[in-house]
């Protein structure tokens, strides 16, 4: 027993860095463009879901419109670099700022809505943005989108290969992980969790819950925009397709699958859902010849519903290793689904 | 007067939960609000803390008009509360609950927190010390790292009080703090409330346990069907036939 304890004590500080180093070496060892590109996509989605996880898992608010923020980031880069010749780095900053501003604008009225209505409201927003990508042809290129986005470059560094992009994206993932880890242990993190636990008690503790929810919403939009901007630089082409309602549902699914309010939930959720998507893309045409992407969303929706019913706390709480290192008690209480059975009665 | 309530009225549909209620609470006293179930006591608390908006009436706190403000603004003005049906942050630790109660004492913002700028640790350390001291007062410092939901019921009530005190309020509204406590716990609670008053804290107490009310209250207001039916010292209220009739039924006596 005592020996075991000492063993874990020695091991622990090295465990996570070791994992990170091993993971970062992956694209060098496994020389496969396909695997590298899947890992990049997982990284991009993880960034989005990390933000969405703060909104859903901590502030207790749902959004079915983050495909729209993701798209705003992507189109900001596409339009600014190809039509206005902005330097890539500036365009990327705009890709972060634009969704943030839009979120600040729509957030105040939207977050007044509760649960189901908030889901509907954000969904409407996402669809609106998506429609705009399709219809505002002069600016967005309509359904055929915008091609010819330059590589992301800064100084002498040009991100012109999958390997380079892999490192860029995963460096951002780690940075966001670091920031969120700090955030949830701070005064702000406590306030966010308090909103999820009891909004009334949070307010009477002096927390401006409306403002904090808005901040969480803006934060999640910034990250979705960042991921969208990186995505545009990665594929050097944007079209409306990846930014629609399907995407929004997938992001919510990732957040829920991974476990809301858990530290590694976003990473886990994004990984599982992307891998499942890859599997479905391969498997569905075998079963239903000629079937396209429209069947994927059915499966994803089904999984989401089943999870909500049978395992609302997600899969992130299955193993203790997957929860935040500092957290004392994983379990149902840690994983509040927005509004999941928590009443808002005044009493 | 620290708190002055005038003409407070609140309707729910056709039901007048609170009708033309007025009272004044002097600084450094315990003011009790009693009455049968459904008399409107909790509604008065919800109105004072801004969780409900009054249909009519005014609430003045230390000379400042409060009605119309949001709950968090009222908390910042110096009024906190506990809840009749506990509203703890169940998934957070006992210590985190109290630390969250001290929210307005801190300054750390979203960005600063993410970057973990220096100064955050110092701020947190201070809040932890302060919170642990409060937990010590109610005998919960040994459970600081347990999830609040894991505490026994009586301890959860005490934790709500500690959380309500964490921001250093001038007025605390306690909604049935003794409900569900055994008699030993209730006596300890009564002693604690008196100690807080001796330290200068003002409290409004809603409580069904008459022994506790008579022991700790400086003044008592009696509500029935949303209306004030009596007000006075414990002795005056105890002797008031209207109170005995309305509140206790014909043949009972106030303990
Ligand atoms: N949010 C609400 N919506 C509708 N009716 C309400 C609401 N809150 C309270 N009421 C009603 O107002 C009346 C007063 O309720 P209140 O909770 O203030 O009573 P109370 O004195 O606290 O009772 P108890 O001792 O049972 O806690 C009751 O008839 C109650 O049903
Ligand atoms: Mg009540």
In order of their start, the domains of chain B are 1-78+169-255 (3.40.50.300), 89-168 (no CATH)
Neighbouring C-beta atoms of residue A201, cutoff 10 Å: 26
Reference B158, options B82, B105, B96, B102; nearest CA is B82
Neighbouring C-beta atoms of residue A108, cutoff 10 Å: 14
Write down the pLDDT at residue A295.
74
What DSSP state is assigned to residue A105?
H
H or E segment and range at residue A9: helix A2-29
Distance CA A84, CA A138 (A): 13
Whether A188 sits inside 8 A of B108 (CB atoms) is yes
For residue A33, give Cα distances in angstroms to A166, A214, B189. Answer: 11, 40, 68
Taking every pair of Cα atoms in chain B, the longest distance, rounded to a whole number of angstroms, is 66
Among B15, B21, B40, B48, say which to mutate for ligand 1: greatest number of ligand atoms within 8 Å of CB. B40
Distance A114 CA to ligand 1 centre (A): 23
Q: Is residue A88 part of a domain?
A: yes
Mutate to test the interface with B, among A172, A174, A187, A192 (most CBs of B within 10 A): A187
Q: What's the CATH code of the domain at A330?
A: 1.10.3470
Distance CA A19, CA A16 (A): 5
Q: Is residue B254's pLDDT more than 70?
A: no
Distance CA A45, CA A64 (A): 15
Instruction: Give chain A's domain count.
Output: 1
Write down the pLDDT at residue B163.
97
Q: Is residue A99 part of a domain?
A: yes
Write down the pLDDT at residue A10.
52
Average pLDDT of chain B to the nearest whole number: 91
For residue B166, give Cα distances in angstroms to A102, A199, A201. Answer: 37, 18, 13
Reference A80, options A258, A299, A228; nearest CA is A228
Distance from the A152 Cα atom to the nearest Cα atom in chain B, whole angstroms: 25
H or E segment and range at residue A42: helix A33-53
Token pair recorded at residue A217: 């919403």
Ligand 1 atom 28, closest CA: B38
H or E segment and range at residue B19: strand B15-25
Write down the pLDDT at residue A205.
95
Tell which atom from ligand 1 comes closest to the C-alpha of B176: 27
Comparing alpha-carbon positions, the chain B residue that sits nearest to A342 is B87
Intervals of chain A under pLDDT 70: 1-13, 292-293, 311-347
Q: Is residue A130 part of a domain?
A: yes
Give residue ranges with CB within 6 A of ligand 1.
A 346; B 12, 15, 17, 35, 37-43, 84
Q: Is residue A45 part of a domain?
A: yes
Those residues with Cβ within 8 angstroms of residue B96's Cβ, 6 or more apart along the chain or in another chain: A190, A193, B89, B148
Reference B157, options B177, B137, B171; nearest CA is B177
Among B9, B11, B17, say which to mutate for ligand 1: greatest number of ligand atoms within 8 Å of CB. B17
Comparing alpha-carbon positions, the chain B residue that sits nearest to A334 is B91
pTM value surpassing 0.95: no
What DSSP state is assigned to residue B63?
T
Helical pair B94-101 and B153-165, crossing angle rounded to 10 deg: 30
Write down the pLDDT at residue A72.
95
What are the φ and ψ backbone dihedral angles of B12, each rounded to 5 degrees?
A: -115, 105
Those residues with Cβ within 8 angstroms of residue A287's Cβ, 6 or more apart along the chain or in another chain: none
Token pair recorded at residue A277: 């998507």
Looking only at the bridges linking them, the beta strands covering B202-206 and B30-34 are parallel
Q: Are the CB atoms for B100 and A194 separated by under 8 Å?
A: yes
Comparing alpha-carbon positions, the chain B residue that sits nearest to A219 is B110
Q: Are the CB atoms for B160 and B192 separated by under 8 Å?
A: no
H or E segment and range at residue A95: helix A88-110
What are the φ and ψ backbone dihedral angles of B58, each rounded to 5 degrees?
A: -135, 155
- Tokens 């689904």 correspond to what residue? A337
Query: Does any CB of chain B come closer than 8 Å to the CB of residue A340?
Result: no
CA B239 to chain centre: 27
Distance CA A321, CA A332 (A): 16
Whether B89 sits inside 8 A of A188 (CB atoms) is no
Those residues with Cβ within 8 angstroms of residue B25's Cβ, 6 or more apart along the chain or in another chain: B1, B2, B3, B4, B31, B171, B202, B204, B219
What average pLDDT score do residues B119-144 get? Answer: 90
Looking only at the bridges linking them, the beta strands covering B15-25 and B3-12 are antiparallel
Whether A346 sits inside 8 A of B49 (CB atoms) is no
Distance from the B8 Cα atom to the nearest Cα atom in chain A, whole angstroms: 18
Tell which atom from ligand 1 comes closest to the C-alpha of B45: 18
Closest CB to A206: pick one of B75, B96, B108: B75
H or E segment and range at residue B216: helix B210-216
Among A344, A345, A346, say which to mutate for ligand 1: greatest number of ligand atoms within 8 Å of CB. A346
Mutate to test the interface with B, among A201, A215, A312, A317 (most CBs of B within 10 A): A201
Positive or negative torsion for Cα A113, A114, A116, A118:
positive
Q: Is residue A24 part of a domain?
A: no
Whether B110 sits inside 8 A of A336 (CB atoms) is no
Query: Does any CB of chain B come closer than 8 Å to the CB of residue A214?
Result: no
Token pair recorded at residue A7: 């063993």
| Surface-to-core class of residue B53, CB atoms within 10 Å of its CB (0-12 exposed, 13-18 middle, 19+ buried) | exposed
Q: Find the length of chain A.
A: 347
Write down the pLDDT at residue B76.
95
B94-126 pLDDT, tens digit each: 999 999 999 999 888 888 888 877 667 788 889
Residue B36: HSE in the Cβ half-sphere, 13 Å Cα cutoff:
13
Q: Is residue B242's pLDDT more than 70?
A: yes
Write down the pLDDT at residue A122.
83
Closest CB to B83: pick one of A194, A196, A347: A347
Write down the pLDDT at residue A327.
37
| Surface-to-core class of residue B71, CB atoms within 10 Å of its CB (0-12 exposed, 13-18 middle, 19+ buried) | buried
Q: Find the length of chain B.
A: 255
Q: Measured between beta carbons, which residues in chain B are less than 8 angstroms from residue A334? A: 91
What are the φ and ψ backbone dihedral angles of B81, each rounded to 5 degrees?
A: -150, 165
Token pair recorded at residue A218: 């803006």
Residue B249: which pLDDT band, with cuts at 50, 70 and 90?
low
Looking only at the bridges linking them, the beta strands covering A237-238 and B64-65 are unpaired
Residue B14: HSE in the Cβ half-sphere, 13 Å Cα cutoff:
0
Instruction: Name beta bridge partners: B202.
Output: B171
Write down the pLDDT at residue A193.
92
| A153: containing domain | 33-335
Q: Are the CB atoms for B157 and B192 separated by under 8 Å?
A: no
Distance CA B193, CA B203 (A): 8
Whether B88 sits inside 8 A of A201 (CB atoms) is yes
Write down the pLDDT at residue B164.
97
Q: Is residue A136 part of a domain?
A: yes
Q: Measured between beta carbons, which residues in chain A are less than 8 angstroms from residue B75? A: 203-206
What DSSP state is assigned to residue A337?
P
Distance CA B101, CA B164 (A): 6
């Amino acid at each position: 027993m005592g020996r075991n304890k000492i063993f874990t004590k020695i091991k622990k500080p090295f465990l996570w860095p070791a994992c990170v180093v091993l993971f970062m070496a992956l694209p060098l060892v496994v020389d496969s463009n396909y695997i590298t590109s899947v890992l990049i996509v997982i990284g991009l989605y993880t960034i989005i879901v990390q933000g969405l996880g703060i909104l859903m898992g901590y502030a207790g608010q749902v959004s079915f419109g983050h495909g729209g923020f993701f798209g705003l980031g992507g189109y900001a880069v596409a339009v600014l670099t190809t039509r206005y010749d902005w330097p890539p780095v500036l365009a990327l900053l705009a890709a972060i700022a634009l969704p943030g501003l839009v979120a600040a604008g729509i957030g105040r009225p939207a977050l007044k809505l509760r649960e189901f209505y908030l889901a509907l409201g954000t969904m409407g927003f996402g669809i609106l943005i998506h429609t705009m990508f399709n219809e505002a042809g002069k600016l967005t290129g309509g359904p055929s989108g915008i091609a010819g986005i330059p590589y992301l470059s800064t100084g002498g560094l040009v991100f012109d290969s999958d390997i380079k992009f892999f490192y860029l994206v995963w460096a951002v993932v780690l940075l966001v992980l670091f920031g969120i880890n700090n955030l949830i242990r701070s005064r702000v993190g406590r306030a966010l969790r308090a909103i999820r636990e009891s909004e009334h008690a949070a307010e009477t503790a002096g927390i401006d819950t409306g403002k904090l929810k808005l901040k969480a919403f803006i934060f999640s939009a910034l990250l979705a925009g960042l991921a969208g901007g990186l995505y545009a630089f990665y594929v050097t082409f944007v079209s409306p397709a990846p930014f629609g309602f399907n995407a929004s549902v997938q992001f919510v699914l990732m957040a829920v699958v991974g476990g809301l309010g858990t530290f590694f939930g976003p990473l886990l959720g994004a990984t599982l859902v992307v891998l499942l998507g890859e599997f479905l893309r391969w498997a569905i045409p075998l079963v239903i010849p000629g079937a396209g992407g429209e069947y994927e969303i059915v499966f994803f929706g089904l999984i989401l519903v089943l999870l909500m019913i049978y395992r609302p706390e997600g899969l992130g709480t299955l193993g203790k290793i997957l929860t935040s290192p500092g957290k004392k008690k994983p379990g149902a209480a840690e994983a509040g689904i927005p509004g999941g059975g928590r009443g808002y009665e005044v009493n | 007067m620290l708190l002055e309530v005038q003409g407070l009225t609140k309707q729910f549909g056709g039901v007048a939960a609170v009708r033309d209620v007025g009272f004044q609470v002097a600084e450094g006293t315990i003011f009790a609000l009693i009455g049968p179930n459904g008399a409107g006591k909790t509604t008065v608390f919800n109105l004072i803390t801004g969780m409900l908006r009054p249909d009519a009436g005014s609430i003045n706190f230390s000379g400042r008009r409060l009605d119309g403000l949001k709950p968090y603004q009222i908390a910042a003005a110096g009024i906190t509360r506990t809840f009749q049906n506990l509203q703890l942050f169940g998934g957070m630790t006992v210590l985190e609950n109290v630390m969250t109660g001290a929210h307005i004492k801190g300054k750390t913002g979203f960005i600063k927190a993410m970057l973990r700028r220096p100064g955050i640790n110092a701020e947190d350390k201070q809040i932890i010390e302060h919170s642990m001291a409060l937990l010590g007062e109610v005998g919960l410092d040994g459970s600081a790292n347990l999830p609040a939901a894991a505490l026994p019921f009586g301890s959860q009530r005490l934790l709500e009080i500690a959380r309500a005190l964490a921001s250093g309020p001038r007025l605390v509204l306690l909604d049935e703090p003794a409900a569900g406590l055994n008699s030993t716990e209730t006596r300890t609670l009564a002693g604690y409330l008196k100690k807080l008053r001796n330290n200068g804290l003002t409290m409004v107490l809603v409580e069904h346990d008459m022994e506790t009310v008579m022991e700790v209250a400086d003044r008592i207001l009696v509500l029935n069907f949303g209306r004030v039916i009596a007000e006075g010292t414990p002795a005056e209220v105890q002797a008031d036939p209207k109170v005995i009739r309305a509140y206790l039924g014909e043949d009972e006596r106030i303990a």
